[in-house]
């Protein structure tokens, strides 16, 4: 266990799986207030900021959307968006731009589209339209300029700073408002589709929230349901966390493959016989042992959210 002081508070860094498991599974340890406020700034006040019974309530409602049986059915969405990424990137690659290609930016766009389709039943189509409003907003939040970085840092250190009407603070709040309005429109549209349309076997996150709310009210426990504000916050959370972490992980994977060409070649040999015009099943992808091992090793070596390969910290 490593202990040090940072920004006026004590930090503990567990460096063994046993120690990490203890902290993550003991309810006495919660996220520091500053960390919680920082998360709220970027991705809303959803399940990642909830603690204790509130966290358990939200998790009960959302769990059906993450059942492995449902995740397996999403494979075609992942495959089709990956194919679309190849199609729109190919002309860019063939042009061989002198400045190079920002692969991370492309991956941010495709993973945003994927979480939209697979998680909420909405296609943002940011791959085809770089200027799509939600895509531009997330670029502002996760790839900020100097003034926005400073604003986010000041909000972390001194939360009341957000009430100072500086241009960077106003721009940050405007970005959050765009995401919130997008989430609210998604809820209204999904609710307008009706239960019959949601009953097609596609349990996306938003559909599960709406269905669980209906069931709780019918069972006489409306206090268990998520209100509209809570639903908006959950969408904000999963939109941000669901695409940013994935794009970061894939970016690192591609980088590591580029500096280890022998592994890249072995991996390519394993998957090159796939029929690109026919999405493989989840079960077929599971048979690619080397592909799975590469993915696991990338996640172990450089977890999303961590730029250098360092030990995990205490934050859940």
The tens digit of pLDDT for each residue in 105-131 reads 899 899 999 999 888 888 898 888 877
Confidence of residue 146 (pLDDT cuts 50, 70, 90): low
DSSP three-state, residue 168: helix
In the prediction, which pLDDT does 194 show? 62
Task: Tell me how far CA of residue 227 lies from CA of 58, 64, 159, 213, in angstroms.
Answer: 11, 18, 26, 8
Residue 80 contacts residue 279 (beta carbons within 8 Å): yes
In the prediction, which pLDDT does 153 show? 74
State the DSSP code for 303: -
Look at 35-44, 118-127, 216-225, 228-237 and tell me which has the smallest mean pLDDT.
Answer: 35-44
Superfamily of domain 33-248: Cytochrome P450 (1.10.630.10)
Give phi and psi for 6, each to the nearest 5. -145, 125
DSSP three-state, residue 4: strand
In the prediction, which pLDDT does 74 show? 87
Give the largest Cα separation in the chain, rounded: 63
DSSP three-state, residue 263: helix
Look at 197-206, 207-216, 265-274 and tell me which has the smallest mean pLDDT.
Answer: 197-206
For range 91-112, the mean pLDDT: 86
Residue 198 contacts residue 211 (beta carbons within 8 Å): yes
Mind giving me the DSSP string for 72-83? HHTHHHHHHHHH
Q: What is the pTM of this model?
A: 0.80
In the prediction, which pLDDT does 304 show? 77
In the prediction, which pLDDT does 292 show? 94
Contacts of 75 by beta carbon, 8 Å cutoff, 6+ apart: 279, 280, 281, 282, 285
Residue 268 above 90 pLDDT?
yes
Residue 104 above 50 pLDDT?
yes
Residue 293 above 90 pLDDT?
yes
In the prediction, which pLDDT does 214 show? 83
Residue 307 above 50 pLDDT?
no
**Torsion angle defined by CA atoms of residues 284, 289, 292 and 298, in that order, rounded to the nearest 10 degrees:** -160
What is the domain partition of the chain in residue ranges? 1-30, 33-248
Contacts of 159 by beta carbon, 8 Å cutoff, 6+ apart: 34, 37
């Amino acid at each position: 266990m490593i202990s040090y002081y940072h920004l006026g508070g004590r930090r503990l860094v567990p460096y063994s799986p046993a120690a990490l498991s203890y902290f993550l599974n003991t309810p006495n340890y919660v996220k520091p207030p500053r960390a919680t406020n920082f998360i709220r700034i970027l991705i809303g006040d959803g399940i990642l900021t909830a603690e204790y019974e509130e966290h358990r309530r939200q998790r009960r409602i959302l769990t059906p959307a993450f059942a492995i049986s449902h995740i397996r059915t999403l494979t075609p969405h992942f495959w089709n968006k990956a194919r679309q990424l190849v199609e729109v990137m190919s002309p860019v690659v063939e042009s061989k731009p002198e400045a190079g290609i920002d692969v991370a930016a492309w991956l941010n766009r495709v993973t945003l589209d994927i979480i939209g389709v697979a998680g909420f039943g909405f296609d943002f189509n940011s791959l085809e339209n770089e200027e799509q409003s939600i895509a531009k907003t997330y670029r502002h939040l996760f790839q900020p300029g100097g003034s926005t970085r400073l604003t986010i840092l000041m909000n972390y250190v001194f939360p009341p700073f957000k009430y100072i009407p500086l241009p960077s603070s106003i721009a940050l709040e405007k970005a959050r408002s765009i995401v919130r309005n997008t989430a609210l429109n998604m809820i209204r549209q999904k609710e307008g589709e009706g239960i019959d349309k949601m009953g097609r076997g596609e349990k996306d996150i938003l559909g599960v929230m709406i269905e669980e709310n209906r069931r709780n009210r019918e069972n006489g426990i409306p206090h268990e349901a998520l209100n509209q504000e809570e639903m908006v916050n959950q969408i904000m959370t999963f939109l941000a966390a669901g695409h940013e972490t994935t794009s970061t992980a894939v970016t690192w994977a591609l980088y590591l493959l580029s500096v280890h060409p022998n592994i890249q070649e072995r991996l390519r040999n394993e998957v090159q016989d796939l029929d690109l015009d026919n999405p493989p099943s989840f079960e077929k992808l599971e048979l690619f042992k080397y592909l799975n091992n590469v993915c696991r090793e990338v996640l172990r070596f450089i977890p999303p959210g961590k730029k250098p390969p360092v030990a995990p910290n205490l934050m859940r």
